[in-house]
Structure 1
Amino acid sequence: MAPPPPPAPAVATEAGESVEIGSHMVGSVVLLADVKDPTFSSGALGAGTAVEPTEGKLYAPADGKITVAFPTGHAYGLRTEDGLDLLMHIGMDTVELDGKHFEPKVAKGDTVKRGDVIAEFDIPAIKAAGYPLATPMVITNSKKAAASVEDVQVSGASVTSADSLLKVALKAKANA
């Protein structure tokens, strides 16, 4: 198991401050544009990236609070301490599994630290059921909260939960 990542930077309050968002999985990087779902690949839900998992765990990519935890265990929302709203969706159309092969480890309202396990899932069973597992992580408020979002890793790169995936230049917070 990889050592825990360094602590996240303090809450940002100035425009232009950059934060890094960690990997939400162990696996290979897939560019968001290459995800086989137009809602994600078009960027309609926000800027981000994806990982094809090689380990059946979803990790917290930053310190924050769980804002969404689908009862089916396939998707989670996280508001980072920097005010970014992240959506992590394990695979495509996996809501149709109705929770089968997913084991949530958090609930809405829980506070998590970068590297905490959010959910576990059975990769072979989900693939055998015919579902792709490339897992997007998008910043749903990226237009409002981020001046820019850059991929830190290249397509195909191997990553762990200790690696960073995105570098985000923050816009000034309201009432800052």
Structure 2
Amino acid sequence: MFIEPNIKGDRRGWIEVICGSMFSGKTEELIRRLKRARIANLKVEIFKPAVDVRYDDVKIVSHDENAIQSTPIDNSQKILLLAQDVEVVGIDEAQFFDAEITNVCEQLALRGARVIVAGLDMDYKAQPFGQMPNLLAVADYITKLHAICVVCGNIANYSYRTSSEGAQVVLGEKDKYEPRCRHCYHQHN
């Protein structure tokens, strides 16, 4: 199919959101898309919340230990400053960012950037997590990934917390969380 070139030279940006439970492959998919953008020689900047130091202080690292260099930030507004003239912006763990992250993504897309955001859509209580509902509402493309339920083997879209901590944000991995299907999540909660 022929696509007419844009003779005005302005780029059209958009927002892609990758969501799902823990262990569903969100970060893996984000890294895959960003590496492909680099193969295409696009200018890419990648960000993660400074609070997420589970695997590395700077890199975004998947549970499968696939990694890509990123810039840790503590305020989503910094993305606008650090992503000047960028064609692709990657953002991991979006649920941990402040209330401005949706506006930041909108501004980047209006500048012509492809914005790829990954994050948990629900917390361990099966409630919408952080700014993810707002990001999902403005996204042009949404990919919902599923893990495998460790109890029954069905598809899982819930992050079941195995530890007794009660705060909404508790960083952890297999030591504190398990992917569960709807039935097994509610049966054990």
TM-score by length of 2: 0.27
Structure showing greater Rg: 2
Question: TM-score scaled by structure 1?
Answer: 0.29
Structure with higher RCO (Cα < 8 A, 6+ apart): 1
Q: Is the helix fraction higher in 1 or 2?
A: 2
